[in-house]
Structure 1
Amino acid sequence: MTDTASGQTSGKIPVTVLTGYLGAGKTTLLNRILTEDHGKRYAVIVNEFGEIGIDNDLVVGADEDVFEMNNGCVCCTVRGDLIRVVAGLMKRQRPGKPAFDAIIVETTGLADPGPVAQTFFVDEDVKAKTQLDSVTALVDAKHVMARLDDSKEAREQVAFADRIILNKVDLVSEADLVEVERRLRKLNPLAPITRAERADVPLDQVLGLGGFDLERILDIKPEFANPGHGEDGHVHDEHCGHDHAHDHHGHDHAHAHEHEHAHGARGHAHEDDIKGISLSLDRPMDGTKFTAWLDRLLGEQGQNILRAKGIIDVSGEDRRLVFQAVHMILEGELQKPWGALERRWSRAVFIGRDLDEAELRKGFEACAA
């Protein structure tokens, strides 16, 4: 892991929000974090200890609601207020070191991870000491289709994620996995999908992702503008919808696309209320118009917009404008300059419920300079 992963660069402790339906494998993953000999000190905040089933032999000492593990990690429950729990953990400082390498917040039974994520943006004390790193969603390859059909929460968890771990892949055929991945990608074109068995995913694919780091948005080539097949006339190799740097399975996506066409894009009756909409524009944007449009959009539809990210080419500006939003909370700044030979273009992805694609596209394109 890099320094960024352990949060040491900013001096703030990175926080990963872990979501996933009952049975998706979160307990297995959390138990690994709490017991493996990884040489890091992690704090895991869970709803209930009972769910995690901590083995007493691994517990060094219990102090109120905090269990110290013999690998140096601690586990505690959210009773009441997350802000208070985080503040309590921060007091467990070690001399000259941050209290923890990372904090993992598990959200069983909490629906939309939005409010949990927002905690790390809105409370000044929490914000001073911690930094939201990412939201990781664990899904169970065997049951996820049924879950997505019958549960609004399951769809929100997938849509909100920075990374999706598709767990229990050993229980399903390759054809079914391709179908599952296709649906996950429609719900969330931004999150790389990592396949796993028994939640055996390397911890550096869960922690230290920088999903909420504006500078990292510049890295998001693959999923980022992943227009439906050739819909904007540009087919770029890097838009294959997979994060090869982090993905041991480096699937070739031509296969998924053939499969999609063979089944017809709507093959099975899975039309979800949530979807990701990718927008792009090859002409420079008017910065003032774009900002006003984005503010208005989030003001009117922020409840329905779970996540948004974008890189914008602002007319008359050498640096790119990078933004992201969680519901109505927006952050954005001018980042590094465009390269001399780089293609300058604007692209954004909005993930949300009942979004009007034509209307969004029209608003986005109307911001052209």
Structure 2
Amino acid sequence: MSDVQPNKIPVTVLTGYLGAGKTTLLNRILSEPHGKKFAVVVNEFGEIGIDNDLVVGADEEVFEMNNGCICCTVRGDLIRIIDGLLRRKNDFDGIIVETTGLADPAPVAQTFFVDETVGAKTALDAVVTVADAKWLKDRLKDAPEAKNQIAFADVILLNKTDLVSETELKDVEMRIRAINPFARIHRTQKSDIAIDKVLGQGAFDLDRIQAIDPDFLEGGHKHFHDEDMQSYSFSSDKPLDPDRFFPWIQELTQREGPNILRSKGILAFKDDPDRFVFQGVHMILDGDHQRPWRDDEAKTSRIVFIGRKLDPKALEAGFLSCVA
């Protein structure tokens, strides 16, 4: 899986508006011979037509699939289910949690930060959003949840691309970029995608974004514009002082938390040989040392905020005040 916090089990949160193709993607994960074992937590087992692939019903909530994956339903509490899965954590490579089609993914993502037991053993690997190429533009106008799902995403499957023209496709991609310039977009039909493009993304890692869009840190993304959702990124090639950074980011997220959907960053602290990676969901932050800085990479700190009603000048001034 990803190289982030290797002792922790990576968790993928899978979201997408009703009818976008989430269930199709889940079916692929639960039945294709990809050679990995995942625990998949779904909201309503009845929605998913995978009964013929079930091998054993361990109990009413956990089912084992032909390809070794486990499927569980959340009838009660997500934390309880995850806690149970963690007791058999040697059985699988990762956990996938599906949200309902009408859900804001934030509360599900927050679970992996809030609960100490769960947070100590798992790491949020990525939020993956399945979007319907034909209907997304309409949903962005009338469904705030659909906009949140796009803003939250680290990876977006722009699905059903066979139902729209190339011009319409470029238009809908521009609208996605206006809300979230950092997510990786994959065009798909019938949610057909290599599993390794969805799972094990290490979405902490802004390096991948730069590889796709090398100039995004230079403000190259600013021509995308959405009325109420913005994203801002800042960088500094001078080392940061952790004694300044942590109080600043904590105060900022406590104050502006409701408006900050996602925050993430890779940081170079003074006298610290390791990269520090963090990501946040609203007011909740999680971070850890990831790996040593390589000799061939610039020790640049990079930080990203996606949210509403943010003040970019204040954000930048706050970030730069953390320079050692």
Query: Which TM-score band (shorter chain)?
Result: 0.7 to 0.9
Give, in whole Å, the separation in 2 of the partners of 1:166 and 1:218: 22
Q: Report the CA distance shift for 1:296/1:128 in structure 2 as closer, same or farther (over 3 A).
A: closer
Provide the secondary structure at the position in 1 that maps to 2:91: coil
Distance 2:163 2:280 in 1: 36
Structure 1: runs of 5 or more not aligned? 236-240, 242-256
Other-structure match for 2:257: 302
TM-score, reference length from structure 1: 0.76
Q: Which has the higher contact order (CA 8 A, sep 6+)?
A: 2
Whether 2:36 is the aligned partner of 1:44: answer no
Partner residue in 2 for 1:69: 65
State the 1:70 CA deviation.
2.6
Aligned position for 1:355: 310
Q: For 1:204-219, list aligned pairs within 5 A.
A: 204-212=196-204, 216-219=205-208
Q: Would the aligned equivalents of 1:15 and 1:105 in 2 still touch at CA under 8 Å?
A: yes
**Change over 3 Å in CA distance of 1:287–1:130 after alignment to 2:** closer
- What corresponds to 1:238 in structure 2? none
Counterpart of 1:149 (choices 128, 141, 148) is 141
**Which residue of structure 1 aligns with residue 320 of structure 2?**
365
Residue type of the partner of 2:260?
A: I
Measured after TM superposition, the shift of residue 299 of structure 1 is 1.3
Q: Distance in 1 between matches of 2:308 and 2:121?
A: 33
Q: Is the 8 A contact 1:25 1:198 kept in 2?
A: yes
Counterpart-to-counterpart distance in 1, 2:172 and 2:193: 18
Within 5 Å, give how 1:246-325 maps onto structure 2: 271-314=226-269, 320-325=275-280
Q: CA deviation at 1:316?
A: 6.2
Tell me the equivalent position of 2:161. Answer: 169
Contact 1:225–1:279 under 8 Å retained in 2: no
Judging changes above 3 Å, is the alpha-carbon distance between structure 1 residues 18 and 178 closer, same or farther for their aligned structure 2 residues?
Answer: same
1:346 maps to a residue whose letter is S
**Deviation, structure 1 residue 194:** 1.2
1:35 aligned onto 2:31: yes
In structure 2, what is the Cα distance between the partners aligned to 1:121 and 1:286? 24
What value does the CA root-mean-square deviation take over the aligned residues? 3.1
1:317 Cα deviation (Å)? 5.6
Match of 1:60 in 2: 55
Structure 2 residue runs without a partner (length 5+):
none
Q: Which whole-Å CA distance do the structure 1 matches of 2:299 and 2:6 have between them?
A: 30
Contact 1:163/1:191 (CA < 8 Å) preserved in 2? Answer: yes
Change (3 A) 1:221 1:71: same
1:81 corresponds to 2:73: no
CA contact (8 A) 1:282 1:346 kept: yes
Alpha-carbon distance change, 190 to 221 in structure 1, aligned in 2, over 3 angstroms: same
Structure 2 residue aligned with 1:221, among 187, 210, 213?
A: 210
TM-score of the superposition, structure 2-length normalised? 0.86
Contact kept in structure 2, 1:16 and 1:104, CA below 8 Å: yes
Give the AA of the match of 1:165: L
